[in-house]
């Protein structure tokens, strides 16, 4: 009886969490503009979505910033993880605590802090500031994804390679990187997902010259929810869902992702 109650309880919780998303997806195919009446199945809103120049530009900036921030944060985060792993216990603990602050910090605090920093340095808010902001909040997640693989790796493998004549750079490329590669990929996927999904930090650091999809949806929603917003939100949800499934699949193959 207790197992049945637990299942019912969990079912109610999941229904409460995912019912709004399901309704949004269903009404993205609704022919009627009314949110309370089903007018038949249609793909018109998706067609209209890609005919909008404003949405295409927002999509372009969203993907461009996501790709660039993912590449840069993955490289920087991997190098930082290698350095942290080779530190002493006390230094490693201090650096990891500092690294965890952006993860635990509310997004609005990070966004306002970055905006204040750019403004105080008289840097005009725009594409560059948004890109830097996305890199900043993605790096800690990359570090937390790579570190577990470094801890699992036998530290004597690289030493053995160098004893056999390999240079440190060759040992890094041919021994260490292949060993921690799953963690690097997971960190990159996490950074890409966070960048596409981010709104708060982007809102405070984008300025007026650049807009991503999350900011566009927010501005469109203030003028009233249109069916195209449902279609756009559905596409974003499916994209993030696919990326998260890929991350979880890699995690199931023996990878730890520390959040």
What backbone phi and psi angles, to 5 degrees, belong to 127?
-60, -45
pLDDT in tens, the chain (259 residues): 577 888 888 888 888 888 888 888 888 888 877 766 777 888 888 888 878 888 888 888 999 999 999 999 999 999 999 899 888 888 888 888 888 888 888 888 999 999 999 999 998 998 999 999 999 999 999 999 999 888 888 777 877 877 777 777 778 878 888 888 888 988 998 899 889 888 899 999 988 888 888 888 888 777 766 788 788 888 878 887 887 787 677 655 544 433 3
Domain count, the chain: 2
> What pLDDT does residue 256 have?
44
Residues 37 and 63 in one domain: no
Residue 30's φ and ψ, nearest 5 degrees, are: -85, 125
User: Tokens at residue 236, please?
Assistant: 């974003």
CA 75 → CA 14, 23, 37, 218, distances in Å? 37, 39, 49, 32
Of the candidates 199, 92, 81, the residue with the CA atom closest to the CA atom of residue 140: 81
Q: What was the pLDDT predicted at 253? A: 55
Say if 59 falls within a structural domain: yes
pLDDT at position 171 is: 82
In a domain, 55, yes or no: yes
CA distances from 253 to 65, 75, 150, 183, 257 (A): 29, 23, 16, 11, 12
3-class DSSP state for residue 210? Answer: coil
Q: Residue 61's domain spans which residues? A: 45-251
**Do 99 and 21 fall into the same domain?**
no
Residues 173 and 51 in one domain: yes
Residue 41, phi then psi, degrees to nearest 5: -80, 140
Q: Which residues contact 19 (CB under 8 A, 6 or more apart)?
A: none
Give the per-residue pLDDT at 155: 74
Query: So what's the pLDDT on residue 255?
Result: 45
User: The domain spanning residue 167 has which CATH number?
Assistant: 1.10.3720.10
- 84 shares a domain with 17: no
Domain co-membership, 132 together with 159: yes
Q: Are 21 and 60 part of one and the same domain?
A: no
DSSP 8-class letter at 174:
I
Q: Provide the pLDDT for residue 35.
A: 66
The answer to whether residues 34 and 148 belong to one domain is: no
Q: Give the other-Cβ count within 10 Å of 60's Cβ.
A: 13
> Could you tell me the pTM of the whole model?
0.79
Contact 196, 211 (CB under 8 A): no
In this predicted structure, what is the pLDDT of residue 251? 58
């Amino acid at each position: 009886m207790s197992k049945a109650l637990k299942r019912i309880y969990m079912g109610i919780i999941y229904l409460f969490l995912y019912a709004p998303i399901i309704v949004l997806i269903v009404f993205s195919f609704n022919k009627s503009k009314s949110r309370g009446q089903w007018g038949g199945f249609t793909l018109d809103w998706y067609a209209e979505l890609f005919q909008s120049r404003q949405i295409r530009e927002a999509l372009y900036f969203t993907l461009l910033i996501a790709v660039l921030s993912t590449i840069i944060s993955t490289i920087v985060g991997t190098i930082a993880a290698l350095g942290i792993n080779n530190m002493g216990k006390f230094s490693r603990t201090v650096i990891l605590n500092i690294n965890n602050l952006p993860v635990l910090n509310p997004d609005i605090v990070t966004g306002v802090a970055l905006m204040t920093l750019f403004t105080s340095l008289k840097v005009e808010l725009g594409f560059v500031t948004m890109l830097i902001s996305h890199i900043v909040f993605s790096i800690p997640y990359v570090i937390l994804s790579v570190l577990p693989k470094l801890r699992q790796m036998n530290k004597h493998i690289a030493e053995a390679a160098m004893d056999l004549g390999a240079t440190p750079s060759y040992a890094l490329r041919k021994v260490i990187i292949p060993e921690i590669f799953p963690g690097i990929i997971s960190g990159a996927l996490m950074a890409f997902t966070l960048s596409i999904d981010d709104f708060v930090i982007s809102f405070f650091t984008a300025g007026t010259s650049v807009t991503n999809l999350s900011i566009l949806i927010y501005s469109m929603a203030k003028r009233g929810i249109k069916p195209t917003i449902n279609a756009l939100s559905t596409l974003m949800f499916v994209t993030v869902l696919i990326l998260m499934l890929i991350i979880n699949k890699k995690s199931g193959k023996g990878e730890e992702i520390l959040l």
